[in-house]
Amino acid sequence: MIIKAPKGTDDITAQNSYIWQFMENKAQNLFENSNYKEIRTPIFESTELFHRGVGNSTDIVNKEMYTFIQKERSLTLRPENTAGVVRAYIENGMHRLPSPLKLWYKGPMFRYERPQGGRKRQFHQIGVELFGIQEAIADAEVIKLAMEYLNELNISGLSLEINNIGCPECRNDFRDKIRKIVQPGLNMFCTDCKIRYTKNPLRMLDCKNETCKELLDTDELKQIINSDYICNECSNHFDNLKNYLNILDIEYIINKKLVRGLDYYTKTVFEITGNNLGAQNAVCGGGRYDGLVEMLGGKYTPAVGWAMGMERLMAIMPTPESNKIKAFVVSNDINKALKLVFKLRSNGVSTDFDLLNKKFVKQLDKASKLKADYAVILGQNEINSGTITVKNLKTSSQQTIVEDKILDIINETTT
Ligand SMILES: [Zn+2]
Ligand SMILES: [Zn+2]
């Protein structure tokens, strides 16, 4: 019997790995250029990290984690990476590094969900975290960075939604107000919302259940949501953020119902959505999490960040051009061919040749199949006269040159 990959996982094959490389290279160049350094944390962590760091009222922790016991220790495949990065930040004493500390990461995450519409159980995220800055300028920087990354991937038709969900002080007030309003009808809400009612009623606002949506669609609640319940400090922070976004020419929509599915957010939350992704249309989600470092045992450190799902990005990104080789050496003199191949490769020209030394015509055929830019031909005539024929496979034009000139020709005519 053939063994298949587990449901919700994909192989990244040789045919499409170039798309991943494209996205990762763009991320690396852009982030390093903005002074963000890459961090790589383990794929599994102590289960407790996610209970404390992601939150007990979240679907992620309650339903979606891959948890296993190894020698009586409970471990979990990371369902997201902020908790792990914060754990590493504390454990490695990164607060002693010059502040702010700007980090980025990429890698697989794991959530047990029903695989649908590009949602995978092993999926991949790219994200950034900025530690040490309280002010809204940090929020603006990471949002701008997200927009620039999407721009690098040639993704257009996106909109940015922002909200400020308050700090621990002003949010408690807001939570109580929501509880008061929904309490009379609490029986009719879904099981999840009943739990959220106690743990974090804010999260009821983004329940996907239709009944819950209807129940929440009351004027009284709308009024509460739209009233500026946040405190002065939070409200100033939000004004400053809007101001910076204006300076950076970033368009945004204020969505008062945006709360994000994680418990650790404070003040700023944001999402970037694509117009053609359907219901699951967020390609980027993030926000500020000023309390998390302290909550996980570190010194109080304000922080802000975001994550993007790479599979989602891929679904709306124009497919980039695949990596092709530049030269294919065609010759029946295998010894001469070998030498030429390695000479070209060591000079930075991506080159391949026919290991089976098949007929000339077949080799030429292979060169076109591989979509090489050039066939570099070493036939008997060329060998006798110390020359090489370079054939441009796109234009079919060819020229015979002295052997020494080969690099000049291939490097000067970039197609
Ligand atoms: Zn506040
Ligand atoms: Zn609900």
Residues around ion ligand 2, judged by CB within 5 A, are: 190, 193, 207, 209, 212
Rg (CA), the chain: 28
| Predicted structure pTM score | 0.88
What is the identity of the amino acid at 174? Answer: F
Low pLDDT (below 70) residues in the chain: 261, 276-280, 413-415
Query: What span, in angstroms and rounded, lies between the C-alpha atoms of 358 and 372?
Result: 18
Contact 131, 100 (CB under 8 A): yes
Going from the C-alpha of 102 to that of each of 132, 137, 157, 363, 373, the distances in angstroms are 9, 14, 28, 50, 40
Distance 62 CA to ligand 2 centre (A): 15
- If one counts every other C-beta atom within 10 angstroms of the C-beta of residue 336, the result is 16
What is the identity of the amino acid at 292? Answer: L
Residues around ion ligand 1, judged by CB within 5 A, are: 166-167, 170, 231, 234
Q: Is 77 helix (H, G, I), strand (E, B) or coil?
A: strand
The encoded tokens of residue 364 equal: 């030429």
Domains of the chain: residue spans and CATH: 17-167+230-316 (3.30.930.10), 327-412 (3.40.50.800)
Distance 78 CA to ligand 2 centre (A): 25
Distance 65 CA to ligand 2 centre (A): 20
Query: What span, in angstroms and rounded, lies between the C-alpha atoms of 170 and 189?
Result: 25
> Residue 28 has what pLDDT?
98
Query: What span, in angstroms and rounded, lies between the C-alpha atoms of 62 and 22?
Result: 35
Distance 170 CA to ligand 1 centre (A): 4
Going from the C-alpha of 218 to that of each of 168, 198, 408, the distances in angstroms are 25, 20, 73
Alpha carbon 63 to its chain centroid, in Å, reads: 23
Kindly write down the DSSP assignment for every residue of 39-65, as one continuous string.
----SEEEHHHHHHHT-TTSHHHHH--
> Residue 115 has what pLDDT?
79
Q: Is the bond preceding 79 in cis, omega lying within 30 degrees of 0?
A: no
Q: Is 350 exposed, middle or buried (0-12, 13-18, 19+ CB in 10 A)?
A: middle
Distance 119 CA to ligand 2 centre (A): 21
What is the identity of the amino acid at 324? Answer: K
The encoded tokens of residue 3 equal: 């063994």
Distance 264 CA to ligand 1 centre (A): 14
Distance 369 CA to ligand 2 centre (A): 55
Taking CA 400 as the corner, what is the angle to CA 395 and CA 404, rounded to the nearest 5 degrees?
Answer: 115
> Residue 277 has what pLDDT?
58
Taking the CA of 231 as reference, the closest ligand is 1
> Residue 278 has what pLDDT?
58
The encoded tokens of residue 237 equal: 């922070």
Distance 117 CA to ligand 2 centre (A): 22
Q: Which ranges of 227-328 would DSSP assign to H, the alpha helix?
A: 232-247, 292-295, 310-316
Query: What span, in angstroms and rounded, lies between the C-alpha atoms of 288 and 308?
Result: 15
Taking the CA of 170 as reference, the closest ligand is 1
Query: What span, in angstroms and rounded, lies between the C-alpha atoms of 129 and 36?
Result: 9
